[in-house]
Structure 1
Amino acid sequence: MPTSFPSQSETGHIVADTVRSRFRSLADEADVQVLGERPKPHMARRFWYTAYQQATAGLLDRLEDIAEDQGSASAEVVAQNYLSDEEVRQARRDAMREKLAEAFENADR
């Protein structure tokens, strides 16, 4: 049975040692190494936040043309004032899905 990850517990919270243990198990199951060593959880967090920032910036890049066409001050104005929270959230999810697909696609090479 695959390791449950990230946080699945009755309270919704898990302690850091549990995360480290689950991460170690996942890395072992997947036989993943980074520079010849088992990856550490902070490496995944670093990747996640970097990818998330890039996905968010990409979303704003896509909105820039719309902002310009509509005479808005910036893409941020379009995102904040003219898109629903759900539309922005879905666009971020789509962008992250693309980033993660790229990462896993590159991992096979």
Structure 2
Amino acid sequence: MARKTYPAEFRRDAVELYRSTPSATVSGIAADLGIMDSTLSAWIKAAGVPIRGQSRPPARSAPPDETPEQELARLRSRVAELEDEQRKLATERQILRAAAKYFAGETNW
């Protein structure tokens, strides 16, 4: 199978996506971008970014005896997670648009 070559901008954007999304995993981002985990890991290591743990924390449900302060803290944490996810998706969309433009330029139709 032929080895794929990705543009430097795509590689930089993928590493930046990983770096800027604390809750993201290498395998999750690689799957979203359609690349191999090992490829993304190599790019991350080459950029000098430490690789975080590969598992996401399990989703929590509200305990029945939760105080209003605890609920507020839990909900703020959830909002932060959702904002991280939104940033990740926006960055992925930008990367995919750039990749689509790049690959569309290579075609001769």
**Bigger fraction of residues in helix:** 1
Higher RCO, 1 vs 2 (CA within 8 Å, ≥6 residues apart): 2
Superposed pair shares fold, TM > 0.5: no
TM-score using structure 2 length = 0.31
TM-score using structure 1 length = 0.31
